[in-house]
Amino acid sequence: MKFLDEAKIHVQSGRGGAGAVSFRREKFIEYGGPDGGDGGRGGDIIIEAVENLNTLIDFRYQQHFKAQIGMHGMGRNRTGPAGKSITIKVPVGTQIMAEDRETVILDMVKAGQSIVLCRGGDGGRGNTHFKSSINQAPRRAEEGWPNEEMSVWLRLKLIADAGLVGLPNAGKSTFLAASSAARPKIADYPFTTLHPQLGVVEVDDNEFVLADIPGLIEGASEGKGIGTRFLGHLERCEVLLHLIDCADEDPVATYRTVREELDNYADILIDKPEIVALSKADTLLPEMVEEQREILEKGIGKKVYIVSGATQQGVKDVHRLLRHHIVAERERRAQENAEDKGFQP
């Protein structure tokens, strides 16, 4: 299945059916009176988040969605059938954005969450509603109410607890494969990963979701390489794992390059908790890896871990550290939400 994280669709609800002008005409009934029924209501356009989807690829083949119109009312006070609504199913984590691609209409972060994006028009009233003591044979009925239509952008931001960042070929895909049942493409050339990958990590009887995105290069914020197109998938992560190849000639410069691109993209990423690790430890002698760690720790002022996806060295320790940050961030956010509710009148 191909990965697509943005799509534009045009949606249109159904207009309401017109009311009927009709009079009761039956044998042996002298004064029949009006009996025109109401028009049916037009169908809605509903968007619903579901669990079993992880791409917007379906919207590459269908971009227009039009609900059924309501049918006209009929005699004998029969209301016209309502138009059928259309439910558009999207992955959990999809943002519905206005046509300007900036205004967020709804952020769908839970399975089953739904919104009526375009409401169908109400049916018009038949002539029965206009009967009065001075107008006992009204020949008036209402037209159905108009429909709604709009164009919206769907933007998918994957739901992951932790995210992998680093330059191309930093060992992110190897780490993801060693951490979970995910099987991303692994090869000895840059930009092996062309779209985000997710894996479920099990550690100490707990699970969390780890996301791997295509590597960043200097100038990514200006569109170089694959650019920052997929960085939005990290916005929902609680913690970032920054991997640097232990054989890098200047690991400090490499670290700063990636951090600068994250900073240029959005403050929300640069402010997230970060774990820094030297990857591919199996490719160098232990004393050389240790020397690289000392250089990096001194240059960035942070503790640096050593991992190897090929030999599993340090992988579980980093898993536990990621899990610790995920739990801490969730508790902090829950406390902030509780405090905010406490100040409400």
Query: Is the distance from CB of 239 to CB of 203 less than 8 angstroms?
Result: no
20 annotated to bind ligand: no
17 annotated to bind ligand: no
27 annotated to bind ligand: no
What is the distance between the alpha carbons of residues 24 and 22, in angstroms, rounded to a whole number? 7
Beta pairing class for 162-165 and 206-212: parallel
100 annotated to bind ligand: no
279 annotated to bind ligand: yes
300 annotated to bind ligand: no
282 annotated to bind ligand: yes
166 annotated to bind ligand: yes
For residue 58, the Cα-to-chain-centroid distance in whole angstroms is 14
213 annotated to bind ligand: yes
34 annotated to bind ligand: no
3 annotated to bind ligand: no
168 annotated to bind ligand: yes
211 annotated to bind ligand: no
What is the distance between the alpha carbons of residues 161 and 38, in angstroms, rounded to a whole number? 52
303 annotated to bind ligand: no
Other residues' Cβ atoms within 10 Å of the Cβ of residue 302:
12
What is the distance between the alpha carbons of residues 152 and 201, in angstroms, rounded to a whole number? 35
| 298 phi, psi to nearest 5 deg | -70, -35
Query: Is the distance from CB of 217 to CB of 262 less than 8 angstroms?
Result: no
198 annotated to bind ligand: no
User: What proportions of the chain, in percent to the nearest 5, are helix, strand and coil?
Assistant: 25, 25, 50
85 annotated to bind ligand: no
133 annotated to bind ligand: no
For helices 286-300 and 251-265, give the axis angle rounded to 10 degrees. 50
CA terminus-to-terminus distance, the chain: 49
214 annotated to bind ligand: yes
178 annotated to bind ligand: no
82 annotated to bind ligand: no
308 annotated to bind ligand: yes
What is the distance between the alpha carbons of residues 5 and 56, in angstroms, rounded to a whole number? 6
173 annotated to bind ligand: yes
Which residues carry a binding-site annotation for GTP?
166-173, 191-195, 212-215, 279-282, 308-310
Residues comprising the binding site? 166-173, 191-195, 212-215, 279-282, 308-310
The annotation places the binding site for Mg(2+) at 173, 193
